[in-house]
Amino acid sequence: MLRRLRSVWRRARPGDASHEVAPLPRRDDLETVVMAPRVLVLNFDPVIEAEGGRRLNAVLGFNEPGRLADEYAADLVECSGGCVRYRVVEWLDLDEHPVKIDGFRYTDAGLVAAWRAGGPFHEPDGLDYRWLIERFGLARRVDAGEADEVWVFAYPYAGLWESTMAGPGAVWCNSPPVEGADVCRRFVIMGLNPERGVGEMLENFGHRVESLLTHAYGSWQPDRPRHAWDHFTRYDLVAPGASGCGTVHHAPNSTADYDWGNPRPVLAAADDWLNYPYLTGRRRMMSARDWGHGDTRAHHRWWLRHLPKAPGRGPDGKLANWWRYAVDLSPQPPPL
């Protein structure tokens, strides 16, 4: 899953603008880790014989999952500075419907009729993740090193979490961990909706980042910052005059969830996070024009680009490449 590229470490010197000095690195921390997770894609897109043998996504006018996957992976390569390079190693187009937590499964006719009528849809909605893992041998594939992550494309009301984690030591990943999965390695299952676009896929990933960075730092309180993750996610509504990069739902100047198009200028330190761990305290006035004038995909790309991706460690002893916490689920090296 991992490759390593040599990179130059610069130790802060007296007189540097940063008021904190990064700890001396170990040899392993002199390298930028390039993660290349192997992805198994499960695309629930049944053939609808009553609609001329077309697949469900075409019948309902949804996006083509192959294009979505390609653009999503490309965005993550670009936003991570090349340190995350997802590789789809197997793609399964499935002529079936997923099973719900109570054993219910839609028929082709039932799903199409419910969609066109605007409901009602089956309750409980949740997908049976233990069924998913057993049906497609995910535990065996992950343990054998055939896959490190699973992407599941399925129509709305298929019951998918945006992301969830299974395996020993699984933690909250924008949803409760999958219980009872007989697997030796932790892995993430991403839930992706072809009715929506790449922006919403990046939002799913962003919430995964928020969950796993909160786990890495032990808490998340941007209104009462105690550590770097808190400072990174500050926004003006909860920290007037002291915005960082905000959150997935809140740009630095947002006054409500999803308020990414707000033209109000606020003082923010977002640019400075591109220098992490050598923060200078530099701030400037910023507004929606900096992150795409309200476009979902543009904002999420902007936010992810600012996520630290430096080699080594920050002054707090945490990895300075936060993408590792979000993507590499192997045990992380301990603090110095």
pLDDT per residue as tens, the chain (336 positions): 433 333 222 223 323 333 344 444 444 455 778 999 999 999 999 999 999 999 999 999 999 999 999 999 999 999 999 999 999 999 999 999 999 999 999 999 999 999 999 999 999 999 999 999 999 999 999 999 999 999 999 999 999 999 999 999 999 999 999 999 999 999 999 999 999 999 999 999 999 999 999 999 999 999 999 999 999 999 999 999 999 999 999 999 999 999 999 999 999 999 999 999 999 999 999 999 999 999 999 999 999 999 999 999 999 999 999 999 999 998 876 665
- Consecutive H or E run containing 153: strand 149-153
Q: Whose CA is closest to 117, among 153, 157, 64, 160?
A: 157
**Rounded Cα–Cα distance for residues 22 and 39 (Å):** 34
**Rounded Cα–Cα distance for residues 41 and 274 (Å):** 32
Q: Which residues, at least 6 apart from 113, have a Cβ–Cβ distance to it below 8 Å?
A: none
- Consecutive H or E run containing 131: helix 129-135
* Residues paired with residue 127 on neighbouring β-strands, in sequence order: 100
User: Is-contact 43 93, C-beta < 8 A?
Assistant: yes
Which stretches of 163-246 are DSSP H helices? 198-217, 228-232
**Rounded Cα–Cα distance for residues 239 and 269 (Å):** 12
For the full predicted model, state whether its pTM sits above 0.85: yes
**Rounded Cα–Cα distance for residues 58 and 49 (Å):** 12
Q: Whose CA is closest to 245, among 266, 263, 218?
A: 266
Q: How do beta strands 2-6 and 163-166 pair?
A: unpaired
Q: What is residue 30's predicted lDDT score, i.e. its pLDDT?
A: 58
**Rounded Cα–Cα distance for residues 52 and 47 (Å):** 9
Sequence ranges of the domains in the chain: 33-196, 214-327
**Rounded Cα–Cα distance for residues 236 and 238 (Å):** 5
Tokens of 328: 């590499």
* Long-range CB contact pairs, 65-70, < 8 A, 24+: 65/41, 65/153, 65/192, 65/194, 66/91, 68/153, 68/192, 68/194, 68/197, 68/198, 68/201, 69/41, 69/151, 69/153, 69/192
- Consecutive H or E run containing 72: helix 65-79
Q: Whose CA is closest to 215, among 202, 201, 229?
A: 229
Q: What is residue 5's predicted lDDT score, i.e. its pLDDT?
A: 32
User: Is-contact 73 82, C-beta < 8 A?
Assistant: no
Q: What is residue 275's predicted lDDT score, i.e. its pLDDT?
A: 96
Q: What is residue 29's predicted lDDT score, i.e. its pLDDT?
A: 56
* Residues paired with residue 267 on neighbouring β-strands, in sequence order: 285
Using a 10 angstrom Cβ sphere, with 0-12 exposed, 13-18 middle and 19 or more buried, the burial of residue 293 is: middle
Q: What is residue 333's predicted lDDT score, i.e. its pLDDT?
A: 66
